Amino acid sequence: MAVPREAPGLIPVAAVSEEYAWLRDSPCACGGAWSLVRQTVGSSPGLPEHLKLDRLQVVCNDCGRESVFHFQVDTHSPQYLEEQQERVKGLFGES
C-alpha cells in the first residue's frame, strides 16, 4: 500500500492535540504565545479522504500579530482515534 505524501505547505500531525503542541512550541517571532481566534476543518480534493485539513487562525498575545497555520490531520492514526474516543466519553460518560 502506498503511503500518501504530505500536501505542500501543510504541517502533518497525527492528532488535534499535536496542533496545539506545535503552536505552543512555535511562538511568534516576538516570543509571544499564540491564542486561537478561529479553527475550521475541511478536506482537499488532492488528498485521501482520511486526511483532514485544519486551518488555525491565531493572534500573538504580546504583539498582536495575526497568522494562519494549516495542519494535515490523519484521522486514521491511533492518536486521533484515541482522542475521539476520549471526547465521546467526556460527552456521554463511561460506557
Q: Which of 37, 24, 38, 25 is nearest to 64 (CA)?
A: 37
Contact assessment for residue 72 and residue 47, using Cβ atoms and an 8 Å cutoff = yes
User: Which grid cell is 95?
Assistant: 460506557
Residue type, 60: C
**Domains located in the chain, CATH noted:** 11-92 (2.30.30)
Phi-psi region of 9 (alpha: psi -120 to 50; beta: other; left: phi over 0): left
> Which helix H or strand E contains 91, and what residues bound it?
helix 78-92
C-alpha distances out from residue 81 to 12, 66, 70, 88, Å: 16, 31, 20, 11
The pTM assigned to this predicted structure is: 0.76
Digitized pLDDT (tens) for each residue of the chain, 95 residues in all: 233 444 557 899 999 899 999 999 999 999 999 999 999 988 877 888 889 999 999 999 999 999 999 999 998 989 988 988 888 887 887 65
Report the distance separating Cα 3 and Cα 20, nearest Å.
25
